[in-house]
Structure 1
Amino acid sequence: MEYTNPLLRNRTFVLLLFAGFLTIASYSMFITTTTWYVVTDLGAVSQLGIILIAATVPRLIMMVFGGVLADTFKKTTIMFSANVAQVIILAVVSYVVALDDMTFLLLLVLTLFFGTIDAFFGPVKTSMIPKIVTKEQTQRANALFQGTDQVAFILGPLLAGVFMEFGNVSTSYSVATGLVLLSTVLVFPPFIKEAPAEKRVQQTPLRDLKEGFHYVVRLNFLMVGIGVLISYNFFVMGAIIVAMPLVVDLYGGTPINLSYLEVSLGIGMVIGSAIVGFVKIKNRGKLSIYGLLGAALVLIFFSQFTDLFWLTMIVFFIGLAMPIVTIPFFTSVQESTDPRLIGRVMSLVYLAMNGFDPIAYGIIPWLIEGGLSIQHVLLVFALIAMLIGVVVLFKGKSYQRV
């Protein structure tokens, strides 16, 4: 079915756009509220890392299997079912917290389930883009999706802070529940007219997963593009997220300075998404490489400056680079991938984009404990990212032609 209307008049696209926004805002609210609750109410500061691992690591692992489901069942059914499950979990958390009966073990289990279920929504939503927009609209559709996702990630913690400040922890959980409930209504399958899943040979989930891996490995531009995503998210984005609170403390800042850095990074992501959405890109692969090189160069500057004002200005450009690195590649993958495999391929792309930040979160503190300064770690990471970008620029000819 062809869609010739502007994107914001495409009913299905708008429903998915707002549903994704609400789901991500709810997830980020949940993470912020839970970390605060663990530290202040449960007094389990030393166990905070376990909660964060439960919320993020299973989510990343299940993204791959979410792609298998997306190629097997109707995508709207998967998103609707995932949201219903999240509503139930959040309602239970809110109720038990309100009764003051929450224990660390119960919260850990509920967080693990919540994070695992959240893994299905993003890749499935993204894999629907080729089915609901025209090829000419794909790049802008990705930019709008990523831009609203970044706004949601910024808005979620702010909402959590407001509702905890003027209400309590249970209030914040209740609002997060309401956001997912509204998202569930928006993706109710009868509201979104989706064609049946592509017919394919019935086989085990493991064979489905292997088929997706083999497809990616056979296509050089996919392998190189995934390598570029991993390089940006591990060496640049992962590094900067760990570094921000450390440099604020090192240079005598306060929590408000950390907020300024985080907001500047988020604003850069949003503006970058808007730019990519409105500019027609011819050489997507080459632009993605330039985005990686530019982000690495900015990270070098970040590692050398000691003034928090200038660091706040500089981090904006790292956020600006993220859509430049990711959206062109996303668009090319969606346009060229076999429709039978789009869910599995997009889930692997999502894993490359989101799965290496937590590794950086673990490695960088370990390096600092080993005696390296955060400035030296950032400089080394930036130089490695730049080296990878230069190698791809000169060797990755097939990727540059994307």
Structure 2
Amino acid sequence: MLHGFVSFYRRQEENGMESQPLSKNRTFVLLFIAGIFGVVSFSMFLTTTTWFVISDNGSASALGLVLIAATVPRIAMMIFGGVVADRYKKTSIMFITNFVQAILLLLLFILVQNDGLSTVLLLVIAAGFGMLDAFFGPASTSMIPKIVAKSQLQRANALFQGVDQVSFVAGPIVAGVLMESIGVSGSYFIAMVLALLSAVIIYPRFIREGPVALQEKQKPVQEIKQGLAYIRSSRFLMTGLVVLITLNFFVFGTLHIAIPFLVESYGGSPLNLSYMEASLGLGLVAGTGVLSTVLINKKGRTSLFGLSGALIAYVVFALVPHLTMLTIVVFFIGFSMSFVFIPFFTAAQEQAADFMMGRVMSIIFLAMNGFDPISYALVSGLSAANIPIQTILLSFAAIGLIITAVLFRKAKTYQSM
């Protein structure tokens, strides 16, 4: 009975959403703006915290601990974040997440202003901040299918992911300007204001959200098991997760370590490092721009071609001994990556049941982000063993290309979607 009501409500919503462009979809626009403020705030927090640790005690180990505290609990909590997104209204989750993050940022502002921020306190706050972000991501992405028509999902995802990339690049720039002009505490304060604005915009009373699809609540562990079983039962989702893990582990994860290594080995400067990071972001934005206008039919096959393009560009990246050329190649890596995750995101949202959407999206987020620390550790360890970085990158690219070739040969169902 309840599932029937949810289905009826969803059909009524679809009929209304089909007739209006995304720019006139009030709920999508509010979610879009809240996402901008939230991502800029989060990236400002990371940049400001990184600079504070370096400038305060100059310890690389302390910086590593803080970054681990900010990222590992976030990854660990992602699946549970999906359970919460299926259980409760997504606007409430996003509002609470941003509001608590704003409180943590206010606490950081007060502590820095009064010279009371110790490394232990920073580790605790960083862990809390990262864990909260694990709830925001699954809630926001699983809400998109509820507020836009299926025919608009690809464009909505492209716009959402595109602005996410722009915001994540813009955050460090804003933080850098603010730290230069009004100090670390000022940067935390502005990040707090942005998090609070995001919370206000996504306040549940301002957003029209349909009823929660998951009505029969069980123990969280049981619901996680159900989510994993649901994904295992879908050949498309399982193959897509392999595609995302291959991209994340063999390309994206290693790239963040490889870029500073190569800049240093080729005699570059911090400016060259900034150019490469910006080029990667621009490539991602350009790819999402294309996908926001060109409708993709064979989403599975498109994601495999995107993965192939990213890996081939990665081979070139490993071989080219020139910083300017490397900066150009990084653009094409970012461009190709967009054609991997956006088509798969869209297809997963089209196929996943409403009552399972949060858990599906949280596991997808885990596949996209969970292998970064392993890549960092592996590349750093191999490099410490005096293996040339170019050899490491070529090896990773070769393994990734082998996996992609097997998927092209075996994953026929995935390619037909």
Same fold, judged at TM 0.5 (above): yes
C-alpha deviation, 1:199, in angstroms: 4.2
Q: 2:406 aligns with which of 379, 391, 394?
A: 391
1:11 aligns with 2:29: no
Give the whole-Å Cα distance in 1 for the aligned partners of 2:395 and 2:321. 17
Question: What's the secondary structure of 1:200's corresponding residue?
Answer: coil
Give the whole-Å Cα distance in 2 for the aligned partners of 1:37 and 1:131. 40
1:233 aligns with 2:254: no
The residue identity in structure 1 corresponding to 2:110 is Y
Match of 2:130?
115
Is the 1:20–1:122 contact (alpha carbons within 8 Å) kept by the matching residues of 2?
A: no
Within 5 A, what are the aligned runs for 1:74-89? 74-89=89-104
Query: What does the per-residue CA deviation read over 1:92-132, in whole Å, with 9 as the maximum and x for residues that have no partner?
Result: 01110011111111111111111111111111100011110
The residue identity in structure 2 corresponding to 1:75 is K
Is the 1:42–1:104 contact (alpha carbons within 8 Å) kept by the matching residues of 2?
A: no
C-alpha deviation, 1:23, in angstroms: 0.8
Match of 1:356?
371
C-alpha deviation, 1:63, in angstroms: 1.2
Q: 1:333 aligns with which of 348, 359, 363?
A: 348
Match of 2:275?
260
Within 5 A, what are the aligned runs for 1:94-105? 94-105=109-120
Q: 2:149 aligns with which of 129, 134, 147?
A: 134
Match of 1:294?
309
Give the whole-Å Cα distance in 1 for the aligned partners of 2:298 and 2:61. 48
Match of 1:167?
182
Match of 1:344?
359
Give the whole-Å Cα distance in 2 for the aligned partners of 1:46 and 1:386. 34
TM-score by length of 1: 0.99
The residue identity in structure 2 corresponding to 1:394 is R
Match of 1:400?
415
1:209 aligns with 2:209: no
Is the 1:147–1:273 contact (alpha carbons within 8 Å) kept by the matching residues of 2?
A: yes
C-alpha deviation, 1:276, in angstroms: 1.1
Question: What's the secondary structure of 1:8's corresponding residue?
Answer: helix
The residue identity in structure 2 corresponding to 1:107 is L
Give the whole-Å Cα distance in 2 for the aligned partners of 1:204 and 1:314. 48
The residue identity in structure 1 corresponding to 2:317 is F
Give the whole-Å Cα distance in 2 for the aligned partners of 1:113 and 1:269. 29
C-alpha deviation, 1:178, in angstroms: 0.7
Q: 2:286 aligns with which of 255, 271, 277?
A: 271
C-alpha deviation, 1:28, in angstroms: 0.7
Query: What does the per-residue CA deviation read over 1:136-195, in whole Å, with 9 as the maximum and x for residues that have no partner?
Result: 000000000100000011000001100001110001101110110110011000110111
Question: What's the secondary structure of 1:128's corresponding residue?
Answer: helix
C-alpha deviation, 1:381, in angstroms: 0.7
* Structure 2: runs of 5 or more not aligned: 1-12
The residue identity in structure 1 corresponding to 2:306 is G
Question: What's the secondary structure of 2:116's corresponding residue?
Answer: coil
1:366 aligns with 2:384: no
Question: What's the secondary structure of 1:168's corresponding residue?
Answer: helix
Give the whole-Å Cα distance in 1 for the aligned partners of 2:115 and 2:137. 33
Give the whole-Å Cα distance in 2 for the aligned partners of 1:223 and 1:73. 26
Give the whole-Å Cα distance in 2 for the aligned partners of 1:30 and 1:257. 23
The residue identity in structure 2 corresponding to 1:215 is Y
1:223 aligns with 2:238: yes
Is the 1:42–1:103 contact (alpha carbons within 8 Å) kept by the matching residues of 2?
A: no
Match of 1:282?
297
Question: What's the secondary structure of 1:347's corresponding residue?
Answer: helix
Cα 1:204–1:101 change in 2 (3 A) is same
Give the whole-Å Cα distance in 1 for the aligned partners of 2:392 and 2:214. 49
C-alpha deviation, 1:279, in angstroms: 0.6
Give the whole-Å Cα distance in 1 for the aligned partners of 2:314 and 2:60. 31
Match of 1:24?
39
TM-score by length of 2: 0.95
Query: What does the per-residue CA deviation read over 1:60-100, in whole Å, with 9 as the maximum and x for residues that have no partner?
Result: 11111110001111111111111111011110011100111
Alignment coverage as a number of residue pairs: 402
The residue identity in structure 2 corresponding to 1:290 is F
C-alpha deviation, 1:223, in angstroms: 0.4
Q: Which runs of 4+ in 1 moved over 6 A?
A: none
Give the whole-Å Cα distance in 2 for the aligned partners of 1:202 and 1:18. 31
Match of 2:164?
149
Question: What's the secondary structure of 2:87's corresponding residue?
Answer: coil
The alignment yields a C-alpha RMSD, in angstroms, of 0.8
Give the whole-Å Cα distance in 2 for the aligned partners of 1:199 and 1:212. 12
Question: What's the secondary structure of 1:41's corresponding residue?
Answer: helix
Question: What's the secondary structure of 1:278's corresponding residue?
Answer: coil
